[in-house]
Amino acid sequence: MGEMSVRLELVGSSDRLRFLPYLVMADESESVVKEYITNGQMFAIVGGGGSVVGVALFVEESEDVMELKNIALDPEFRGLGLGKQVINQAFEIFKKQGFRKMIVGTSNSSIANLAFYQKAGFRMSEIRKGFFLKYPEPIFENGIQAVDMVMFERVLDESVAK
C-alpha cells in the first residue's frame, strides 16, 4: 500500500450531525461536542477512494486566529501520517483566508496528542487549568486524569513570524 493521501471537503451545516460519531471519538463528551458542532468550518477528511475517513472542525477564535477544535480519524487510518496532511492542508486554507495563527488545545493526559501537535509544528502557549473538571464524567488516559488543557499555537505564515 503506497502513501495514502487525503483531501479536505467542506461540510454544509445540515450535514454536520452525521459526523457526530467521529467528533465524539476525539472529545469524550457528546454534550460538549453538541455545543460547538454548528460553529466554524467543518471538513470531511476524504481518502483516495472518495470515502470519508475522518473529520476536522475549526472555529474562529478571533478575526486572525483559527482554533482546531476537533480532529478525528477512523482508528484503522491512524498512524499513517494523515493527521499531519490534514493539518498542513488546513494551514494553507486558513492562511489564504487571512488567518495569522492556528491554536489547538489538548488534555494534559493525551500523551499521543501532545507529541502529534509538536511534530506538526505547534508550540505550547498556555495551560488552561481545571478545564476538564467541568466535563460530566472524569476522563482518564494513560493512567492520568485529564484536568488541564494544554494550548498550542502555530503561526501560519512563517515569513511574518516574530
- Residue 26's pLDDT band, with cuts at 50, 70 and 90, is confident
Instruction: Flag whether 1 is in a domain.
Output: no
Distance CA 31, CA 25 (A): 13
Neighbours of 5 (CB within 10 A): 12
Instruction: Flag whether 2 is in a domain.
Output: no
Which domain does 136 fall in, by range? 7-160
Instruction: Flag whether 34 is in a domain.
Output: yes
pLDDT digits (tens, 9 = 90+) for 113-142: 999 999 999 999 999 999 999 888 899 999
Average pLDDT of every residue of the chain: 92
**Mean pLDDT on 95-118:** 96
* DSSP state for residue 97 in the 8-state scheme: T
Is pLDDT above 70 for 71?
yes
Q: How many domains does the chain have?
A: 1
Tell me what pLDDT residue 160 has: 58
Tell me what pLDDT residue 112 has: 92
Whichever domain contains 150, its CATH number is 3.40.630.30
